[in-house]
Structure 1
């Protein structure tokens, strides 16, 4: 769109909005005849009759009313761009939108984000807790900048980067007959009431495969798609559960988490939008996380993916 056309549309928009050539001229800081010339030029350019000039004042025609609907949308968008630019300037270092699956979002990711934000004053961040499939869809739609999700089969339209692997543990209520053991094997849980991950979570397939391969029958009493809810249910006496090694730390006063051999490893991927190069802020955050995972004796109970 040329600057000349934009100026003509602006004059048209102001006349339609105010109903007055005089007010449009004042808003544009030009004379009334100049506004009239802009309107005439727009009519000539579009080959439309936009105003009825048979009376003393301009009366919009039906064509003008229809055209103004689109012109109004154009200037509303332009105003939105101005507001966004102001927000971006006010944001200082920038904005980082992150989504994480519950096992990272309950504790670990908030701690990482808090430390990162302290290092970058003025940074605006948002953290949403979603299922892995929801995260993949949000990344593909450009709604978030970074996603941390379980490795999903068939996830299309997103960049998938190996991030970390988290071993599984068995969560038992304190005082359980197995709580004093140093570790467990699947056979130890034969016949136990079991709090299971929900069927929509691909981690469920990993857990089920472990027990099926050892021909262990569990009594699944409750299902939930959130590891923290599974731990809370165990604390309340609903049974035992197999979850990631991060989450039980939130319930350490009420449950015991023991390693299981052989174990299950929950593979976490970092998801990015295809075709969009990472911003400098994203690069800084991913470097920060890599730094946290590389700390010897790190409390995160995770193994960085190679």
Structure 2
């Protein structure tokens, strides 16, 4: 590895070669002429070659000096490229961010948002994974991502979490269904089905189970699925009624589906997970700002 002192030697040599004189090199570097002369002497001593012929206060480069200058110029081009890259990183204009998002927000919400992000941060690579909340929590705890969006609750540590959204789940009903004209739906109405329900692996399933039990309503689901997007598509095909997250409801909005508020309100609790040991990333912060803006616009479209 070249020491800082050696870098000064080469900088002095390059300055003299570019200006043609020791005094010119000293002026270029902002150093005294004797100091530059000492740097040249030291460089020649370390390399074991003569770089200049000195006659009557003038220096004439030797053939070795010209060869060395070619190598130094190539090195300076690389250094300038490195400095430029570092500057882009400091401004958040380069580099890479890694995020993991649960399916309800990862299938449509984030992909559509990345189109806007790309316009503002065209040189930033985004690694975007769609995973279930448990895996996102695991990755955040092990510092593998810049941030994640996952449904609560969490069991691990190693990350900070804050509420990203707690808007309620909403009923999606086929437009020609007998319940489509209602202003609100309650558990008792879902007896009319057919009901498209969550599998036991989804947090919303347990919340809905509690709502039905509290209302003394027994539900016999005709279909079960893992993703809101799948449930919504089934509603769109007229198969049945589903209780889905608000993001999928608005992003997938279709004339064949009526969105109706469901009571009791069951919050779709999504937290932002940020690993504790992950270094700050301006590009990730910018993406989060866009996400918050889009969230607010989208949720404003929900029926009350």
**1:205: which partner in 2?**
206
Post-superposition CA distance 1:213-266 (Å, at most 9, x none):
111121112211100111122233432111112213315133221111221111
Aligned-residue offset at 1:287: 3.0
Q: For the structure 1 residues 192 and 253, does the alpha-carbon distance in structure 2 shift closer, same or farther, using more than 3 Å as the test?
A: same
The structure with more radius of gyration: 2
The whole-number CA distance in structure 1 between the counterparts of 2:159 and 2:265 is: 29
The whole-number CA distance in structure 2 between the counterparts of 1:299 and 1:95 is: 27
Match of 2:261 among 250, 259, 262: 259
**2:137: which partner in 1?**
136
**1:56: which partner in 2?**
none
User: Does the 8 Å CA contact 1:108/1:300 hold for their aligned counterparts?
Assistant: no
**1:163: which partner in 2?**
164
Post-superposition CA distance 1:43-75 (Å, at most 9, x none):
xxxxxxxxxxxxxxxxxxxxxxxxxxxxxxxxx
User: Does the 8 Å CA contact 1:245/1:301 hold for their aligned counterparts?
Assistant: no
The whole-number CA distance in structure 1 between the counterparts of 2:145 and 2:120 is: 22
Aligned-residue offset at 1:302: 8.2
> Where do residues 19-38 of structure 1 align in structure 2 (5 Å cutoff)?
none
User: Does the 8 Å CA contact 1:170/1:258 hold for their aligned counterparts?
Assistant: yes
The whole-number CA distance in structure 2 between the counterparts of 1:292 and 1:230 is: 23
**Structure 2 length as normaliser, TM-score?**
0.64
Post-superposition CA distance 1:259-295 (Å, at most 9, x none):
112211111101121223432222232233334445x
Q: For the structure 1 residues 134 and 289, does the alpha-carbon distance in structure 2 shift closer, same or farther, using more than 3 Å as the test?
A: same
The whole-number CA distance in structure 1 between the counterparts of 2:212 and 2:280 is: 41
Give the CA RMSD over aligned residues. Answer: 2.7
Aligned-residue offset at 1:169: 0.9
The whole-number CA distance in structure 2 between the counterparts of 1:218 and 1:301 is: 31
- Other structure's SS at 2:298 match: coil
Are 2:272 and 1:234 aligned?
Answer: no
The whole-number CA distance in structure 1 between the counterparts of 2:242 and 2:192 is: 13
Match of 1:275 among 274, 277, 291: 277
The answer for unaligned runs of 5 or more in structure 2 is 3-81
Q: For the structure 1 residues 221 and 170, does the alpha-carbon distance in structure 2 shift closer, same or farther, using more than 3 Å as the test?
A: same
User: Does the 8 Å CA contact 2:169/2:245 hold for their aligned counterparts?
Assistant: yes
**Structure 1 length as normaliser, TM-score?**
0.63
**2:95: which partner in 1?**
94
Are 2:186 and 1:185 aligned?
Answer: yes
- Other structure's SS at 1:238 match: coil
What count of residue pairs does the alignment treat as equivalent? Answer: 217
The whole-number CA distance in structure 2 between the counterparts of 1:207 and 1:140 is: 29
The whole-number CA distance in structure 1 between the counterparts of 2:156 and 2:258 is: 35
Moved over 6 A (4+): 88-91
User: Does the 8 Å CA contact 2:133/2:151 hold for their aligned counterparts?
Assistant: yes
Are 2:287 and 1:285 aligned?
Answer: yes
Post-superposition CA distance 1:194-229 (Å, at most 9, x none):
211121111211121122111112111221110011
